[in-house]
Amino acid sequence: MSNEIIQLNASQDKAVKHENGQLIILAGPGSGKTRVIASKIAYLMIDKKIHPSKIFAATFTKKAANEMQNRVTQLVQKKPIGLNIGTFHSLCALLLRRHGSFINIDRNFTIYDSDDQRSLIKIIINEQNLNTQIYNPYKILNKISKNKNHNLVNDFIEEFQPSAYERKINEITHTYQSYLKKNNALDFDDLLIYTYQLLSHSEDVRKEICKQFEHVLIDEFQDTNTLQYEISKLLAAVHMNITVVGDPDQSIYSWRSAKIENINNFQRDYPQHKLVLLEQNYRSTKSILEVANNIIQPSPERIQKEIWTENKIGEPVSMHHFDQGEDEGEFIANTIKEETASKEISPKDIAVMYRTNAQSRIIEEALIVANIKYRIVGGLRFYERKEIKDLLAYLRIIQNENDTVAFIRIVNTPTRGIGKESLAKILLLAEQTGNTVIETIRKNIDENLDKGKNEPSWKIRATTLEGLVNFLFIYDELFANVKNDSISSLLNLIMKLTHYQSAVINKDAQTIEQQNAKKENINELLNIAQEYDEKNSDSPLTEFLHDLSLVADVADVIEDSDDVVTLTTLHSAKGLEFPIVFLPGVEEGLLPHVMALDTEAEIEEERRILYVGITRAKNKLYISTARNRFIAGSPRSAKPSRFLKILSDDTATTRATSAPSRNRNDFIAERKNLIFRKQQTDYTEGMKVQHDIFGTGLIVSIESRSEDQQLTIAFKEKGIKKILASHAPMEIIGQSDVN
Q: Which residues are catalytically annotated? A: 33-34, 219-220, 250, 616
Give the number of other CB atoms < 10 A from CB of residue 738. 6
Report how far residue 263's alpha carbon sits from residue 26's, in angstroms, rounded to the nearest whole number.
9
The number of angstroms, rounded, from the C-alpha of 553 to the middle of its chain's C-alpha atoms is 3
Other CB atoms within a 10 A radius of the CB of residue 624 amount to: 25
Residue 457 to residues 90, 231, 303, 308, Cα–Cα distance (Å): 44, 50, 69, 76
Q: Of 653, 663, 658, 596, nearest to 628 (Cα)?
A: 663
Give the angle 151-155-161 at the CA atoms, nearest 5°. 120
CA distances from 219 to 37, 303, 321, 732 (A): 8, 18, 38, 56
Helix (H, G, I), strand (E, B) or coil at 62: helix
Determine how many CB atoms are found less than 10 A away from the CB of residue 734: 9
What letter represents residue 46's amino acid? I
CB 622 within 8 A of CB 670: no
Q: How many CB atoms lie within 10 A of CB 518?
A: 21
DSSP 501: I
**Cα 330 from Cα 352, distance rounded (Å):** 13
- What is the pairing mode between strands 274-278 and 22-27? parallel
The HSE-up count of residue 116 (CA atoms within 13 Å, CB side) is: 24
First to last CA, the chain: 80
3-state secondary structure of 80: coil
Cα Rg, the chain, nearest whole Å:
29
Strand 578-583 relative to strand 617-631, pairing: parallel
Ranges of H-type helices in 434-511: 437-449, 462-481, 487-498, 500, 506-508
Q: How far apart are CA 589 and CA 138, in angstroms?
A: 25
Would you say 281 and 31 are in contact if contact means Cβ atoms under 8 Å apart?
A: yes
Amino acid symbol at 171? E
Phi and psi, residue 481, nearest 5°: -105, -5
Q: For residues 85, 113, 358 and 647, what is the CA-based torsion angle, rounded to 10 degrees? A: -30
- What single-letter amino acid sits at 140? I
CA distance 437 to 426: 7
Three-state SS letters, 560-612: CCCCCEEEEECCCCCCCCEEEEEECCCECEECCEHHHCCCHHHHHHHHHHHHH
Rounded to whole angstroms, the maximal C-alpha distance in the chain is 94
CA distances from 211 to 56, 100, 199, 239, 315 (A): 12, 17, 12, 7, 53
Neighbour order of strands in the sheet with 730-735:
719-724, 708-715, 695-705, 687-691, 730-735
How many of the other CB atoms lie within 10 Å of CB of 693? Answer: 13
Q: Can you name the residues that pair with 589 across neighbouring β-strands? A: 593
- Residue 736 CB neighbour total at 10 angstroms: 12
State how far the Cα of 618 lies from the Cα of 644, in Å rounded to an integer. 20
**What span, in angstroms and rounded, lies between the C-alpha atoms of 698 and 723?**
12
